[in-house]
Amino acid sequence: MRGSVTAFDAHVGLGEITLTQGEVVMFHCAEIADGSRKIEVGSEVECDIVMKFSRAEASAIRPA
């Protein structure tokens, strides 16, 4: 799936991605594929969507 990072709190390690279809999914910094645990708001990304705790979350986040 493609989308853009619309929020990221490096202190907490949580953020959100708005997918091109308009759906918003959460992510944890451990899901950033390059291992950096940082990502800039506004970055265009590709990710997989997985179900965790009964909700969709982004996984394997990588640059688009």
The residue ranges of every structural domain in the chain are 2-51
- In tens, the pLDDT along 12-24 reads 999 999 999 999 9
Owner of token pair 């940082």: 38
0.95 exceeded by pTM: no
Query: pLDDT band at 29, cuts 50/70/90?
Result: very high
* Residue found by looking up tokens 């308009």 in the block: 22
* Coil, helix or strand at residue 29: helix
For the chain, the average pLDDT equals: 95
pLDDT tens digits along 47-59: 999 998 899 999 9
- Overall size of the chain counted in residues: 64
